[in-house]
Amino acid sequence: MSFVIKNATVVSPADGCSGRMDIKIENGKIAAVGENLSGDTEINAEGLYAIPGLVDMHVHLRDPGQTAKEDIFTGCCAAAAGGVTSLLAMPNTNPTIDCGEVVRYVREKAKDAKARVYVAASITKGLQSKEPTDLAELKEAGAVGLSDDGRPVVNTAFLRDAMKRAPQYGMTVVAHCEDLFLAEGGKINEGEISAQLGVKGIPAAAEDCGTAREIALAAAEDVPIHICHVSTATSVALIRDAKRRGVKVTAETAPHYFSLTEKELLRRDADYRMNPPLRTEKDVQAIIEGLRDGTLDAIATDHAPHTPAEKADFEKAPNGSVGMESSLAVGITYLVKTGILTFDELVEKMSVNPARILGIDAGTLRVGANADIALVDLNEEWTVDPDKLHGKSKNTPFKGMTLTGKVKKTILGGKIVFE
């Protein structure tokens, strides 16, 4: 059985491919990209862009243990609705993904899900920074990433050991950068708004001290580090400088850090609270410049579902917001339509580069690759309605906003998983 996507505008920067073409799929793989292809079934994608499925390298699926918020299946439904076909699941679940058994549980449960789930296991047992995990065991079970996301590794020696050993196992260390002592008790960005609201702030320096530490280790040991969810101007500057010096650092930011500022917190609505927090206009401009000049390689969502009950109290609510269903549209609206990035460059940051950083087979439409494709209308406007999201939780900071760019179909391994 073959299946052909006809008349799409194909954008696949990894393959140097751009233009109006057909894509032929056989046995779940790309069989051909070219003109006048035919197959057993055809769909007409006239007016749509065909891109390699997005790779979201920072997702909380909440499974095992917190399935009232999300589970592996519903999280992947949200992924499919956003054009995400591969994602990296973070280990701060209950139990923590810190041993082979839990890695295998996630991978097994994800087998029939609507996205490919790659697993980041923790660097220390239970994210406690007391005992390192067994990298050989985690690798054997299929983990591709290492992170104590949600809680940084306090013991720098454990972090250094993981960074030194990860390349031997073909694993990527992805670091949540935060000085817990500086951040302690903070709810939102420390500054004018936190003072105005009388809420304890998290200083930008809490993130920047972490970023500086991770870069120092990567430089000292000449090993790679990937910096998660960059939100501050100083962290962008630290990463830019490190890259110029040849340090093996890569970095991601999230859609909310280039589109929203701390002013949103004046609503006293916990859906706008995440960690790192929304920052100032100056930080937003620095993030945008970092995306533009290549300092920031990737855009990942930090999709972090929480139930409405948990998000009800502005100050007591846990940190995090969902994002997979709106990430591409936020990118198109705030980066492409404004002329900051071309659409090709956005696809690089949301598919090609994260696949490369994680060393996974994605981000490409070359012949033989998995037929993971998103079909996108670059001009359709839509309003984000939390009740229409496909995941279990509705805590989006983009609620009520009108965005441009809509995922019309998502294809995973040659099968339509969203339309």
- What positions carry a catalytic annotation? 302
- Judged by CB under 5 A, the number of residues near Zn ion is 3
Q: How far apart are CA 41 and CA 29, in angstroms?
A: 15
Residue 176 lies near Zn ion (rule: CB under 5 A): yes
Among the residue ranges 26-34, 64-72, 251-259, 295-303, the one whose residues contact Zn ion (CB under 5 A): 295-303
Q: Is 126 helix (H, G, I), strand (E, B) or coil?
A: helix
Q: State in angstroms the smallest separation of the CB of 60 from Zn ion.
A: 6
Q: Is residue 303 involved in binding Zn ion (CB under 5 A)? A: no
* Residue number, 71 or 149, with CB nearest to Zn ion: 149
| Interatomic CA distance for residues 118 and 208, integer angstroms | 28
C-beta closer to Zn ion: residue 9 or 253: 253
Nearest of 342, 318, 302, 323 to residue 401 by alpha carbon: 323
Stretch binding Zn ion (CB under 5 A), from 29-37, 294-302, 332-340, 353-361: 294-302
Specify the 3-state DSSP secondary structure of 20: strand
According to the binding rule CB under 5 A, does residue 273 interact with Zn ion? Answer: no
By C-beta, is 207 or 345 nearer to Zn ion? Answer: 207
Determine if residue 237 is left, alpha or beta; phi over 0 gives left, psi from -120 to 50 gives alpha, anything else beta: alpha
Q: How far is the CB of 228 from Zn ion (least distance, A)?
A: 5
83: left (phi over 0), alpha (psi -120 to 50) or beta: left
Q: How far is the CB of 358 from Zn ion (least distance, A)?
A: 15
Taking CB under 5 A as the rule, does residue 149 contact Zn ion? yes
Q: Which of 215, 233, 245 is nearest to 291 (CA)?
A: 233
Q: 376 with 408: CB under 8 angstroms?
A: yes
Binding to Zn ion (CB under 5 A): which residues in 329-348?
none
**Smallest distance, Zn ion to C-beta of residue 115, A:** 17
Contacts of 363 (CB under 8 A, 6+ apart): 14, 52, 55, 351, 352, 353, 354, 355, 356
Alpha helices, DSSP H, located in 270-365: 281-292, 308-311, 327-331, 343-347, 353-358
Which lies closer to Zn ion via its Cβ, residue 94 or residue 196? 94
Quote the least distance from Cβ 29 to Zn ion, whole Å. 32
The reply on whether position 302 binds Zn ion by CB under 5 A is yes
| Distance separating alpha carbons of residues 32 and 34, to the nearest angstrom | 6
Strand, helix or coil for residue 48: coil
CB of 133 to Zn ion, least distance (A): 18
Q: Residue 65 corresponds to which tokens in the numbers above?
A: 């243990």
- Strands 249-253 and 298-299 come out as parallel
Part in contact with Zn ion (CB under 5 A); list of ranges 6-14, 62-70, 148-156, 341-349: 148-156
Residue 306 in contact with Zn ion, rule: CB under 5 A: no
Q: Which residue is nearest to Zn ion (CB)?
A: 176
Segment contacting Zn ion by CB under 5 A, of 113-121, 147-155, 351-359, 367-375: 147-155
Name the one range near Zn ion by CB under 5 A: 31-39, 152-160, 168-176, 204-212: 168-176
User: Is 262 an interacting residue with respect to Zn ion (CB under 5 A)?
Assistant: no
Task: Tell me which residues touch Zn ion (CB under 5 A).
Answer: 149, 176, 302
